[in-house]
């Protein structure tokens, strides 16, 4: 006898949560593409930053997976969408990353709204950490974009800034929800 969970009809919140797993994995892949581009341009600090961002997005996806498991919901691990690999310059990459983070903030807000509308206060509370995280992610990416623009083409200044300021290297947030399989 197979031990598979029966697929239950899902609420709007759980449909959005499943879609967000896809979005987080896709963001992770997009950040790898950015990191590889920076690596190929001999910009190790920018590459390191985006490799770390990729792992962070993967951990976010797996935290969403763990929540669905904890709530006894069927989880489907999706493929990822298209990943952009061709860019004309550093500003373009950072603008893409900032736009991606803004889109994620809208998606997480929609999840919180759906949970509240469904009176699923446990799920609404779960989304709060992700909302806070998006404020931080947007702020950091906005700052990085400003630094790139102010460097006016001098990428060594951007590299020095990242090395000096450790943007996005705050360590693991102890309040982060549990991650399926453990955080990387």
| Known binding-site residue numbers for Fe cation | 24, 57, 60, 101, 134
**What are the distances in angstroms from CA 50 to CA 6, 38, 108, 121, 131?**
38, 9, 21, 34, 21
Is the distance from CB of 94 to CB of 144 less than 8 angstroms?
yes
Q: Give the Cα separation of 76 and 6 in Å (integer).
A: 13
SS3 94: helix
Q: Give the Cα separation of 180 and 100 in Å (integer).
A: 24
In sign, the C-alpha dihedral spanning 130, 65, 34, 88 is negative
Query: Annotated binding site: which residue ranges?
Result: 24, 57, 60, 101, 134
Of 86, 95, 100, 92, nearest to 27 (Cα)? Answer: 100
């Amino acid at each position: 006898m197979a031990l598979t969970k029966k697929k239950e009809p899902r609420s709007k919140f759980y449909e959005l949560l499943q879609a967000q797993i896809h979005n987080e994995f896709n963001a992770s892949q997009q950040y790898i593409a950015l990191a590889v581009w920076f690596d190929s341009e001999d910009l190790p600090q920018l590459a390191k930053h985006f490799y770390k961002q990729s792992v962070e997005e993967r951990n976010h996806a797996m935290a969403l997976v763990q929540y669905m498991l904890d709530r006894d919901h069927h989880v489907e691990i999706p493929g990822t969408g298209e990943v952009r690999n061709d860019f004309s310059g550093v500003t373009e990459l950072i603008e893409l990353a900032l736009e991606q983070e803004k889109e994620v903030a809208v998606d997480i807000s929609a999840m919180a709204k759906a949970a509240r509308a469904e009176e699923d206060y446990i799920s609404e509370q779960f989304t709060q950490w992700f909302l806070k995280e998006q404020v931080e992610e947007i702020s950091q990416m906005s700052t990085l974009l400003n630094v790139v623009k102010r460097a006016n083409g001098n990428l060594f200044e951007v590299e020095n800034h990242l090395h000096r300021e450790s943007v996005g290297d705050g360590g693991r947030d102890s309040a982060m929800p549990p991650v399926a399989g453990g955080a990387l």
